[in-house]
């Protein structure tokens, strides 16, 4: 039993590192900038989570690696969602939550993270998430 739990943890760690590496590769960041890729992922995940209705948020999270799911749900207050954010509000919040300078600013950070997440969930689930977004925000989603 203990071996399977360690294996599951290692698998989740590997998948989480792959997501972070995908973000880094999109920017050309070295692994030494892992704090930036983590901050980008965390910021966009929390905003996406808070914009989604509770049921859709939970369905989306089920497809994330366990460690990313923990990041996703950290600090979540289901009774406070969904928060109505349009594209400009979303980008403003990304700027507030991502304390680094990155090429392309908040819009590029958002697009890189959303594109990365899209590659790590099923097409059907991604479409469900996209369908819950206001039109101006959905246009940013791959």
CATH code, domain with 53: 1.10.490.110
Residue 138 has a pLDDT of 93
Residue 2 has pLDDT above 60, yes or no: no
Residue 1 has pLDDT above 90, yes or no: no
Number of C-beta neighbours around residue 45 at 10 A:
22
Number of C-beta neighbours around residue 76 at 10 A:
16
> For 21, which DSSP code?
H
41 burial level (CB within 10 Å; 0-12, 13-18, 19+): buried
Q: What is the tally of structural domains in the chain?
A: 1
CA distance 104 to 65: 28
Domain range for residue 130? 1-139
Q: What digits encode the pLDDT tens for the residues 89-121?
A: 999 999 999 999 999 999 999 999 999 999 999
Q: What is the mean pLDDT of the chain?
A: 94
């Amino acid at each position: 039993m203990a071996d399977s739990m360690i294996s599951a943890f290692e698998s989740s760690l590997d998948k989480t590192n792959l997501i972070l590496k995908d973000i880094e590769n999109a920017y050309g960041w070295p692994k030494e900038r892992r704090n930036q890729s983590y901050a980008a992922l965390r910021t966009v995940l929390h905003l996406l989570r808070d914009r989604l209705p509770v049921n859709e948020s939970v369905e989306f999270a089920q497809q994330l690696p366990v460690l990313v799911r923990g990041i996703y749900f950290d600090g979540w207050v289901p009774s406070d969602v969904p928060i109505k954010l349009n594209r400009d509000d979303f980008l403003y919040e990304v700027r507030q939550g991502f304390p680094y300078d990155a090429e392309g600013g908040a819009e590029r950070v958002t697009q890189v993270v959303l594109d990365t997440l899209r590659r790590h969930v099923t097409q059907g689930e991604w479409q469900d998430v996209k369908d819950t977004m206001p039109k101006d925000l959905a246009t940013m989603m791959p």
